[in-house]
Amino acid sequence: MGKDRFIELLTKDLTGEISVDEKRELIYLRGEPFYDRKEEDLLRAYWSNSHKAEYDSSSLFKRIQQKIDSGETGEESLLPAYEFADHVEEEVSSAPILNWMSKSAAVLLMACCIFFVYHSFLTYRKELLIKETPKGVRSVFTLTDGTEIRLNADSRLEYPAHFSDSTREVFLIGEAFFDVSKDAAHPFIIHTKDMDIKVLGTTFNVKAYSNERLTETTLLNGAITVTLNNLSKKQIYLKPSQKLVFRNLRSDNRRVALTNNDIDTSMRQLTYFEPDHATIIETSWTNNKLTFKNEDFSTLARSMERWYNVDISFDSENPKQLRFTGIIEKENIGEALRALQLTEKFNYTINDSAIRIF
């Protein structure tokens, strides 16, 4: 069952139909005992040299499964149907030697594919590891390749104990700052719910909380490629000091259709607290500073919830529209709220970790 599922996911990956969750599962299955990297490479080589436009993931998977279930392993039965079309006879009569070589190559490639399906042997298990930070907590850790990651509060990172031979892939929910170890032969890829970020070696910040309206990628050094999962795999290239903002639209917890107005493809520059201030708002949290500039109270409240491990509710819509600019560093939640009251009028109550704004 495990290997069948792996083949199904791999065919989806080959045809570009795989989702983020399925990609996560595919990486996990690479750590199962049946997995062998050389076999996957053989299948990918077959796919890249075959009539791949003829298949989607479903038809390709069904074709392989039918061959397994029927026990057909002869060379002729392994060839795609079009290999035996009328035009093949014409080619045989005009160039018998070349045609024989072509068919032999096709047989060999398909045999490699079937070999991948049937053959397995034990390898060490590479399970995905999970690093989580609850609200009010931030952490710093280093991956086996030397990449340093700072994980913000209420965030989760999934990563393999050992990276594969071709890529370094992790999955992020929340916010993290990456200082990626340079390795041109093994790209580093961060998967989020809305985008994939590919780098070779650089420093950047990713903010992808599931309960936020915006997903952000901010590049400090190097270069990254961002692939937007919901806009036909559109790719955007970021240069240092640029920031990409992706607007998340949902209806009844479902993804709704996106238009060009739903994504900001203009490259914004890093946001500084003030023109002559050294604090960069997007990454200030890595220095234990919660920084905000002209931010509405409802958005700021979500950040404060994660920062202080509290729950903030509003009695009405009016306080949500209040806007604030400031830096919170060592203040506790009560001191922070009192500081906000100096610029805008509102009241609040604190009951343990529950805060009510009115």
Domain membership of residue 276 (yes or no) is no
- pLDDT for 24 equals 75
- pLDDT for 92 equals 40
Question: Three-class SS of residue 17?
Answer: coil
Query: Which range among 80-94, 155-169, 210-224, 321-335 has the greatest average pLDDT?
Result: 321-335
As for how many domains the chain has, the answer is: 3
At position 285, the amino acid (one-letter code) is W
264, 304: one domain = no
Tokens describing residue 6 = 């792996």
Phi/psi at 74 (5° precision):
-70, 155
21, 89: one domain = yes
Among 90, 118, 146, the domain boundary falls at 118
| Distances, alpha carbon 190 to alpha carbons 225, 245, 292, in Å | 11, 16, 26
Q: What is the pTM of this model?
A: 0.66
Domain membership of residue 242 (yes or no) is yes
The answer, yes or no, to whether residue 126 has pLDDT greater than 90, is: no
- pLDDT band for 207, please (50, 70, 90 cuts): very high
- CATH code: domain of residue 307: 3.55.50.30
Residue span of the structural domain in which 224 resides:
128-269
- pLDDT band for 69, please (50, 70, 90 cuts): low
Phi/psi at 99 (5° precision):
-65, -40
153, 260: one domain = yes
114, 149: one domain = no
% pLDDT > 90, the chain: 37
179, 251: one domain = yes
Residues 296-330: tens digit of each pLDDT = 999 999 999 999 999 999 999 999 999 999 999 98
Among 239, 269, 299, the domain boundary falls at 269
Contact 42, 48 (CB under 8 A): no
Among 269, 304, 329, the domain boundary falls at 269
Domain membership of residue 159 (yes or no) is yes
96, 160: one domain = no
155, 194: one domain = yes
Average pLDDT over residues 160-171: 84
